[in-house]
Amino acid sequence: MASDTTRSAPTGGAADTTPSAKPHRTPSAPSAAADAVLAFANTHADAGGRQERFADAEGLARWLTDNGLPDAAADVSEADAAAVRELRDALVTVLLGHSADPRTSEQALTRAEHLLRRAAARYPLAAVLDRYGARLVPGHDGLPGVLAGILASAAELALTGAWQRLKACRNPPCHFAFYDRSRNTSGAYCTTTCSSQVAMRNYRNRHRAGAATPGNAGDAAPEATPRQ
């Protein structure tokens, strides 16, 4: 339901190595960590006109600059853009798993999780301990630090019990990542529009399947008239 989900998009300004978050949150709103992950996930193209932000090095550099990370945008390459796309797509696949998307197979989830584990090794984090607690911070600067910061945000969400609330819309043309604020974490679509589109698509598919099934009422031959 639209009232129970929050769609997030990249916002200007950033602290350290993650896209910045909006201030003045309510308890039911997504955290800064959630906003960072959602801003990264929602960079793919969709049927609604959203453009791929990581199509090439120029696009990646622009996204980094737009999110207040100009230092990380320096000297990014086409290989960097491809690696970032791969990481982003794996993350979206896991978020589709959170939505129990029927089109996302167990094999796809396993591949995505394997890639995320490899990314965690490639973009390491360091634990910082002080009198106030502990936190994970990127072990490198630049683009590796940005990607490590995304992983740190995901780890924070997992530790606080909010990771399962990050989902990707089950509507195939959309797959927009959102924060599920429903009480029982039952949200599966980013808006009621997507939910309605899927319901109508399923209805039409059932109707066509029923019409094509031999022997149903619509296909039944007329009864023969008994001979006198």
Q: Give how far the C-alpha of residue 107 lies from the chain's centroid of Cα atoms, to the nearest Å.
A: 18
Q: Which of 152, 143, 157, 156 is nearest to 54 (CA)?
A: 143
Average pLDDT value over all residues in the chain: 84
Question: What average pLDDT does range 77-102 have in this prediction?
Answer: 98
Say how far apart CA 205 and CA 94 lie, in whole Å.
27
The CA–CA distances, whole Å, from 215 to 70, 204, 220, 222, 225 equal 65, 19, 5, 12, 19
| 48: confidence class by pLDDT, cuts 50, 70, 90 | confident
Q: Which of 32, 71, 49, 65 is nearest to 154 (CA)?
A: 32
Tally DSSP H helices, then E strands, for the chain: 7, 7
Say how far apart CA 151 and CA 70 lie, in whole Å.
20
Question: What average pLDDT does range 135-139 have in this prediction?
Answer: 93
pLDDT of residue 218: 43
| 28: confidence class by pLDDT, cuts 50, 70, 90 | low
pLDDT of residue 214: 58
Phi, psi of 147 (to 5 degrees): -70, -35
Q: Provide the residue type at 202 as one letter.
A: N
The residue that leads in pLDDT, 22 or 110, is 110
Sole residue written with tokens 């090095």: 57
What is the β-pairing status of strands 18-19 and 14-15? antiparallel
Which token pair is 71?
A: 């230092």
Which token pair is 91?
A: 């993350």
Question: What average pLDDT does range 172-201 have in this prediction?
Answer: 90
137 sits in which H/E element: strand 133-138
* Pairs from 137-143 (Cβ < 8 Å, separation ≥ 24): 137/16, 138/16, 138/17, 141/17, 141/71, 141/72, 142/71, 142/72, 142/74, 143/64, 143/72, 143/76, 143/80, 143/84
Phi, psi of 159 (to 5 degrees): -70, -30
Domains and CATH numbers, the chain: 2-212 (1.10.3300.10)
Question: What average pLDDT does range 69-85 have in this prediction?
Answer: 96
pLDDT of residue 3: 42
Question: What average pLDDT does range 29-44 have in this prediction?
Answer: 94
Question: What average pLDDT does range 118-124 have in this prediction?
Answer: 96
Least confident of 18-27, 30-39, 56-65, 95-104: 18-27
